[in-house]
Amino acid sequence: MFRFFENLIDPYTDYAQTDTPPQRLWPFLWDYCQPFKRVFVVAALFSVVVATIEIGLIYYMGRLVDLLGSDPAQLWADHGTELLLVALFILLLRPLIQGLDVALLNNAILPNFGTLIRWRAHRQVLRQSVGWFENDFAGRIANRIMQTPPAAGEVIFQTFDAISYSLAYLIGAAILLSTSDWRLMLPLLIWFVLYAFLVQWTVRRVGPASQAASDARSQVTGRVVDAYTNIHSVKMFAHHDLEVAHAGEAIEHARRTFQKEMRIFTIMDVGLTILNGLLILGVVGWALALCTWGQASVGVVAAAAALTLRLNAMTGWIMWALSTFFRELGVVAEGMETIAQPIALVDKKDAKPLKLKRGRIEIENLTHHYGQAQGGLQGVTLHIEPGERIGLVGRSGAGKSTLVKLLLRFYDVEGGRILIDGQDISEVTQDSLRRQIGMVQQDSSLLHRSVRANILYGNPEADEDEMIAAAEQARAHEFIQGLSDADGHRGYAARVGERGVKLSGGQRQRIALARVILKDAPILVLDEATSALDSEVEAAIQETLYGMMAGKTVIAIAHRLSTIAEMDRIVVLDEGRIVEEGSHDMLLAKGGLYASFWSRQSGGFLKLDQVAEE
């Protein structure tokens, strides 16, 4: 039975992805609700039926009181069949209806609705550009992805478990009282108006207060995750107290916002207690008065008392449910700030996969300043022939990394264009572009997975032998065999820790190299690929790198000029422009900026920040 309800909705069903999700709350939620529309209708109907049954039972209790008051001895003889049918209904049919109502909500809707939102939200966020992620905390993004689904699920739960049920119950209560005596509706209606005012007062304040509290909690998460992610820096600079204070400021802000939120609930509870007292006195007192005047039966008084006591118990729950409903809407609204952001860097509608034939790269009048007035690149033109090996040199901030990021289309260019084999990279799909480029960065972070998973990230289709061969070529196989983790995994099965923190810089770099070797892309980008290696390993890896370069178009960024001296051509960037280019010997003979870099090296390392303006 459980499996039937659990499989009513497939949370992974196909859907049309959009680059511009709805920016308003209700359209945003409605978009996620589409696969659940039919189930929602059925769940709402069952909520109404359950409320109607509860009202019917109260009505029947009043009827029993009246029947007992007429002639208790004849009760079974005159109404035995009726009593038996009611008993069977209470024992059999009522639990069945209640069970179906609960199963729809707890087994069909809640697990699948939260899963659907988390799955789609994660897919949407992963489509954002590198620049988008660089502008936010990873912890805060993850926190919103994790908080939004349960909050949205709570909204749906309260809609069917409390709001639709309570509305049906109140309408049923009014009908029940009016059938006994229309005057009994008057205190209920007066109470309902006052109750509606209290609900309105609460809701108008709870939404903003809960969103502020949710924002404050996300800020705490962001600061805590930031400290944990950079724990080496925290320990190295002995800034335990500084980080405690930094997090403490956010924690205190979260406490104050939560206090403001809780004040609203306290006022609500006190106001609700007063209103419920008026309800009991009004309805039951009026029923007693009618009874003493001979205008209502004892059963009416009993039903009115049972109804008001039930409403008294329900109103706190309803108010809390409504407050929870709007509080969780506030959490969803905060999550929307991340999930519903438009995708800025997108493929064009008619984008085709990149068809790489030779690997010729043409950079034409390339300009990019990250939306600022200075920095980046200015009017760079560079043609790289198929199979040519280019070294990029320049001071810190000269634009080397910007050029590589634009080649990978981590950002869209602000001016000019980049072509690969005559195809503008802005006209092809991003995935097809990046599949043709292998890159090893200076700081190669690894996934918190096994060594095997990290190397196979370069080519998930590769077999075990191909993976090991790549590791051997990167001079990594030997140390990998000696690795182990806290769970007892060894060798290629050992986990490397977050960002590869359990490995040394050189070990991380060699696994990253193995990953790129396994990818075997026709265009190779090396950004200080051997900077984390010691001299002996670097010398061995250099042979590997030159082997990898065979037949590939290569762009290598280096401060250690000895690593690129054998390149076909060296390009010198300064302040976002190409100022020199040629072979190592040509540039030395020229006696320009490159020659000054070379003369100021110490052990092959380029002290760029100490080089004076030429």
User: Is 147 found in the same domain as 136?
Assistant: yes
Contact (Cβ atoms closer than 8 angstroms) between residue 574 and residue 559: no
Task: Tell me, yes or no, whether 100 and 246 share the same domain.
Answer: yes
Would residue 30 count as lying in a domain?
A: yes
What's the pLDDT at 307? 74
- Read off the pLDDT band of 603 (50, 70, 90): very low
590/597 Cα distance (integer angstroms): 13
d(CA 13, CA 32): 11
Give the residue from 550, 532, 530 showing the smallest Cα distance to 540: 530
Residues 275 and 401 in one domain: no
Domain end point (choices 314, 339, 364): 339
Do 218 and 289 lie in one domain? The reply is: yes
Confidence (pLDDT) at 607: 47
| Domain annotation covers residue 79 | yes
35 pLDDT exceeds 60?
A: yes
Tokens of 512: 């990253």
- Evaluate whether residue 7 is within a structural domain: no
Same domain, 472 and 585: no
Please report which residue ranges of 127-184 form alpha helices under DSSP H: 130-134, 138-158, 164-180
The dihedral built from the CA positions of residue 519, 520, 525 and 531, taken in this order, carries a sign that is positive
Our CA angle for 433, 437, 443, nearest 5°, is 125
Please tell me the distance from the alpha carbon of residue 361 to that of residue 436, in angstroms, as a whole number.
12
Q: Within this chain, do residues 531 and 606 fall inside the same structural domain, yes or no? A: yes
Co-location of 292 and 429 in the same domain: no
Instruction: Dig out the tokens for 511 from the structure.
Output: 């696994």
43: its two tokens:
């769940």
pLDDT tier at 605 (50, 70, 90 boundaries)?
A: very low
- Whole-angstrom distance, CA of residue 19 vs CA of residue 345: 9
pLDDT more than 70, % of the chain: 94
Q: Provide the CATH number for the domain around residue 470.
A: 3.40.50.300
Task: Name every residue whose Cβ is closer than 8 Å to that of residue 602 and which is 6 or more positions away in sequence.
Answer: none
**Cβ–Cβ under 8 Å, residues 144 and 360:** no
Rounded-to-10 torsion of CA 468, 126, 35, 164? 130
Residues 227 and 156 placed together within one structural domain of the fold: yes
- Residue 613 pLDDT exceeds 60: no
Q: Tokens 């304040």 label which residue?
A: 205
pLDDT at 42: 92
Q: Residue 126 sits in which domain range?
A: 13-339
Co-location of 405 and 416 in the same domain = yes
Q: How confident is the model over 531-544, as a mean pLDDT?
A: 67
Q: Give the integer Cα–Cα distance in Å for 317 and 165.
A: 12
- Of residues 504 and 108, more confidence is placed in 108
What was the pLDDT predicted at 416?
Answer: 93
Rounded Cα–Cα distance for residues 142 and 221 (Å): 9
Instruction: Report whether 494 contacts 450 (CB < 8 A).
Output: yes
CA distance 218 to 142: 9
CB 559 within 8 A of CB 610: no
Q: What is the Cα–Cα distance from 17 to 141, expressed in whole angstroms? A: 20
User: Rounded mean pLDDT of the chain?
Assistant: 84
pTM, to two decimals: 0.75
Domain count, the chain: 3
Q: In angstroms, how far is CA 178 from the centroid of its own chain?
A: 51
Same domain for 410 and 306: no
Give SS3 for 409: coil
Judge contact between 465 and 471, C-beta under 8 A.
no
Q: What is the rounded average pLDDT of the residues 379-398?
A: 91
**Residue 333 maps to which CATH number?**
1.20.1560.10
- Name the DSSP letter for residue 252: H
Residues 44 and 133 in one domain: yes
Asked whether 195 and 369 are in contact (CB, 8 A), the reply is no
Give every CB contact of residue 117 below 8 A, 6+ residues apart in sequence.
Answer: 32, 148, 149, 152, 153
Q: Tell me: the pLDDT tens digits for 303-332?
A: 777 777 777 767 767 777 777 787 788 788
d(CA 546, CA 554): 10
d(CA 223, CA 489): 32
Terminal-to-terminal C-alpha distance of the chain: 80
Same domain, 312 and 404: no
How do residues 220-234 score in pLDDT, each as one tens digit? 888 888 888 788 788
Domain boundary pick from 269, 304, 339: 339
Q: Does some domain include residue 360?
A: yes
Please report the beta strands in 195-309, taking only residues with DSSP state E, as ranges in sequence order. none
Q: Which residues fall within 8 angstroms of residue 335, CB to CB, at 6 or more apart?
A: 121, 144, 145, 147, 148, 151
Among the candidates 489, 519, 549, a domain finishes at 519
Return the structure tokens found at 382. 């560079």
Q: Cα dist. 376→4, 380, 393, 434 in Å? A: 58, 10, 15, 21
If pLDDT is split at 50, 70 and 90, which confidence band does 614 have? very low
pLDDT of residue 355: 92
Phi, psi of 63 (to 5 degrees): -65, -40
Buried b (16+ CB within 10 A) or exposed e, 293-327: eeebbebbbbbbbbbbbbbbebbeebbbbbbbbbb
> What is residue 602's predicted lDDT score, i.e. its pLDDT?
47
